[in-house]
Amino acid sequence: MHKKMLTLICLFFLIFSTSVHAEKDLDQKEWRHLNQTADKVLQLVKEEKYSEAKQLLDFFSKQFLAIRYDDQNLSMTQLRLITTSYERALGAVTSAAASHEERVLAVSEFRLVIDALVSEHHPLWKNTETQVMNYFAKMREAISSEDSNSFQHHFNGFLQRYAVIRPAIMIDLLPHQFQKIDSHVRYVEKYRATIVSDTDKAKQMKVMEEDFAKLYQGFEKDQADPSLWWVIFSIGGTILLSLSYVGYKKYKGEKNKVKMKQ
């Protein structure tokens, strides 16, 4: 009975632990090729070779579709982010109205998404740290000098850069970590008109800057959402108590049988 109980509990925690600490289990050879293709597309766009970039994007699509999704352990969110960023990149490259900067930004977003799926230690999106944190310094100065126009200008620049890295960090971060970062941005965006004149709202900028610094330094990858662990231990505790009660009842029943025989 005790062996069965122990086996069941171990199995329960193994299942949850696997889901919480799921690693990228992709065919590295195939994805390295995709990553290299995405990098070449970006280089071609930077060189304003849009026609060649479009051909390479078509080639990427064929490469990607050749991979069996069920063998790659891709989540629906990851598939959606890849598809969306690819479509944006393709649209920017083929649009006659898009400026060179718009093309570069759209393809950069696509490049960072593919890299985030492959790179384990230092994804490319982290190379934007200096640029993004400089925007925070400029926004801080604008708030300090109560210069609303300057704040709006630098916040627009920040939003543009954040839009480029947002899909990649969504892939790299745990859901509750990403939600924390994204909620900061949405809050400041909502109250951007009054943030310079409102001291309480301006404090949110300081918290946001601190969390972005932590983002680039690296959140703990193995730090699961505390609420998730609470659920795991609550359910695990319930199972343990139930099994203990069943074991106790069985023990009492066997003991009573021995007494009756005696």
Structure tokens at 195: 């943030």
Token representation of residue 203: 């404090």
Is pLDDT above 50 for 20?
no
Q: What is the mean pLDDT of the chain?
A: 82
Nearest to 24 by CA among 167, 120, 165: 120
Residue 162 makes CB contacts below 8 A (sequence gap 6+) with 132, 185
Q: Is residue 108's pLDDT more than 80?
A: yes
Per-residue confidence band for 225, with pLDDT thresholds at 50, 70 and 90: very low
Least confident of 44-48, 121-125, 185-189, 243-247: 243-247
End-to-end CA distance of the chain: 25
Q: List b or e across 164-203, with b for residues whose CB sees 16 or more CB atoms inside 10 angstroms.
A: bbbbbbbbbbbeebbebbeebbebbeeebeebbeeeebbe
Average pLDDT score over residue span 212-234: 61
CB contact at 8 A, 247 and 1: yes
Q: Which residue has the tokens 């069996």?
A: 68
Whether 27 shows a pLDDT value over 50: the answer reads yes
In terms of Cα–Cα distance, which of 92, 110, 101, 84 is closest to 50? 92
Whether 22 has a pLDDT exceeding 70, the answer reads no
- The pLDDT assigned to 227 comes to 45
What is residue 21's predicted lDDT score, i.e. its pLDDT? 40
Report the pLDDT averaged over residues 232-251.
55
Check residues 234 and 147 and name the one with the higher pLDDT: 147
3-state secondary structure of 62: helix
Higher-confidence position of 207 and 120? 207
Residue type, 132: V
**Lowest model confidence (mean pLDDT) among 122-131, 203-212, 213-222, 231-240:** 231-240
For residues 104-127, one letter each, b for 16 or more C-beta atoms within 10 angstroms of the residue's C-beta and e for the rest, the string is bbbbbbbbbbbbbbbbeeebbbbe
pLDDT tens sequence across 39-87: 999 999 999 999 999 999 999 999 898 875 555 578 899 999 999 999 9
Q: Are 170 and 112 in contact (CB under 8 A)?
A: no
Q: Are 188 and 155 in contact (CB under 8 A)?
A: yes
Please determine, for residue 246, whether its predicted confidence score (pLDDT) is greater than 60.
no
Closest CA to 9 of 218, 236, 195: 236
Write the CB contacts of 2 (distance below 8 Å, at least 6 apart in sequence): 247
For 164-178, what is each residue's pLDDT tens digit? 999 999 999 999 999
